[in-house]
Structure 1
Amino acid sequence: MLINKTFHDIPTQLDNGKPIRIFIIAPEVPDYPEAKFPGVVVFSEIYQVTGPVERFAGQIASQGYVVESICLVQRALLSITNSKVLKLSRTMSKIEKKVEAYDEDAKLTIDLLVSLKNCNGRIAATGMCLGGHLAFRAAFDPRVLASVCFFGTDIHSATLGKGKSDDSLIRVRNGDLSGKGELVMIFGKQDTHVPREGRDLIRKTLEDANIPVSFLEVQAQHAFVRDEQSKGRWDAALTRSLFTFVMEVFERTAGRDLGPKVAQGKAPEHVC
């Protein structure tokens, strides 16, 4: 399926008015200008919407989804060309940004997605690294029908954002994920950013809260889906296999209109 790319700069309230840039990659179906598709939010890693993230988002869009990929840096950083300065600026942006501002970014992104005329309002989310954690937090939004989180960082250590003190797992324990969309957590067993103890904590917290979750641990390092060889971690075959799994989750949840959800064990009422 053919796709095209545009972007919106959306002002924020909690980040001193600094805008977030949201890239939209959407299907194009000739002769069907009013076609509508489900939507997917792709949260970027700390390097922002680089080639690997854009290509990942484009692959999802070509399957028939309106995809938004959110750039979490301030507009001022978009013009920096010195790679060392840009890397430092991105790192500082990550640790200086408040968790509430990250949540506002997610809300603004979903708000924009459901407002698009080519989106039918059925939303899923995914992301890698920093974006994996943000996709995890996006699962608290009842509009998100599925979240697939690739090697989400800082979840186990609760160190997202300014002050390095987030409440992601606390909210799980408090029941904020109960009755929400489907959750998938994917980690590499050789991931030095999320060690075994951290993965065990995340899994235990979700299971103790009785959250239906698919928890996948594969033989890979951190960032294994990034299709670049800069650090020698990209596993193309494994990425292809997991992409098929991701699309099955999205198709089964956001991709199909199943009607209203009912509690497990309770049959829906039928009118004769």
Structure 2
Amino acid sequence: MSDTLTIPAKDGSGRFAAYVAMPERTPAPAIVAIQEIFGVNAGMRRICDDLAAQGYIAWAPDLFWRIQPGIDLTDQTEAEWQQAFDLFNKFDADKGIEDIAATIAAARRHPKSNGRVGAVGYCLGGLLAYLTAARTDVDASVGYYGVGIHERLGEKDAIGRPLLLHIAEEDGFVDKDAQKQMHDALDPHPLVTLHDYPGVDHAFARPNGTTRNENAAKLADQRTIDFFAEHLR
């Protein structure tokens, strides 16, 4: 079962929508699914539905609402890519983290929640999952092929809850030097785990994506499932 709920922004500037998928049994822990540059599209809704099938209340907030609400793009056409990059360039990551924090608070308050909340993000959302671990009270976070994490490593010391990061070794948006910086800074952190996936490109786990790799996606997703089972159950 799924629904669309609205969440008040922390700065009082308005309300934004979130796709919410419910599990069969409640109370249950929640997971905030953090979008790519394509908005809350069919792939993000599928991720939420899969999380609900695993027993989580899954929330996918519309983080582009301050620019244009209801963005729903794919990676299948050049025009959609151009629109997605334009949205990315206009996006304020700090406001995005505020909206994620508001979603976490809403998820904790939900009458069918058990009070525990995780976050999982992809691409842009992978960076935001890292920042969510550093800036919010989320219980556990997972980032897939986050772009720009190496530029935010100064925030690593604020991470106080478990964080899992999946790294595509042939990521066209995160080069080998950036990956090395991430490992050098984060491998010693007692709450952070990094997994590398050889031979795969960015977005290897995107549902129906052009660079999806089934073997790597299944391995990463199983690690994510196990991670949340350990920290949210």
**Bucket of the pairwise TM-score, normalised by the shorter protein:** 0.7 to 0.9
* SS of residue paired to 2:212: coil
1 CA distance for matches of 2:139 and 2:10?
26
Q: Structure 2 matches for 1:3-82, cutoff 5 A?
A: 4-12=1-9, 14=11, 17-29=13-25, 35-74=26-65, 77-78=68-69
2:158 maps to which residue? 176
CA contact 1:41–1:123 (8 Å) conserved in 2 = yes
2:197 maps to which residue? 218
1:103-143 deviation per Cα after TM superposition (whole angstroms, max 9, x unaligned) = 21111110110010111111111111000111111112563
CA contact 1:21–1:75 (8 Å) conserved in 2 = no
Which residue identity does 2:39 align to in structure 1? Q
1:156-198 deviation per Cα after TM superposition (whole angstroms, max 9, x unaligned) = 2x3xxxxxxxxx31122xx211xx2111110111111111110
Which residue identity does 1:133 align to in structure 2? L
CA contact 1:136–1:149 (8 Å) conserved in 2 = yes
The answer as to 2:126 corresponding to 1:132 is yes
CA contact 2:41–2:72 (8 Å) conserved in 1 = no
1:120 maps to which residue? 114
The answer as to 2:74 corresponding to 1:93 is no
1:47-79 deviation per Cα after TM superposition (whole angstroms, max 9, x unaligned) = 011122221221111111111112211277346
CA contact 1:39–1:113 (8 Å) conserved in 2 = yes
* SS of residue paired to 1:192: coil
* SS of residue paired to 2:146: coil
The answer as to 2:222 corresponding to 1:240 is no
Q: Which runs of 5+ in 2 are unaligned?
A: none
1:208-229 deviation per Cα after TM superposition (whole angstroms, max 9, x unaligned) = 5x34322111121100111225
1 CA distance for matches of 2:108 and 2:118?
11
CA contact 2:187–2:193 (8 Å) conserved in 1 = no
Q: TM-score, normalised by structure 2?
A: 0.88
- Pairs aligned (count): 229
1 CA distance for matches of 2:10 and 2:23?
31
RMSD after superposition: 2.4
2 CA distance for matches of 1:236 and 1:139?
27
Farther-moved stretch of structure 1 (87-96 vs 183-192):
87-96
CA contact 2:31–2:56 (8 Å) conserved in 1 = yes
86 and 73 in structure 1: CA distance in 2 versus 1, 3 angstrom threshold: farther
Which residue identity does 2:221 align to in structure 1? F
1 or 2, which has the higher helix percentage?
2
Q: Which runs of 5+ in 1 are unaligned?
A: 30-34, 159-167, 256-272
1 CA distance for matches of 2:202 and 2:168?
6
* SS of residue paired to 1:147: strand
1 CA distance for matches of 2:166 and 2:86?
26
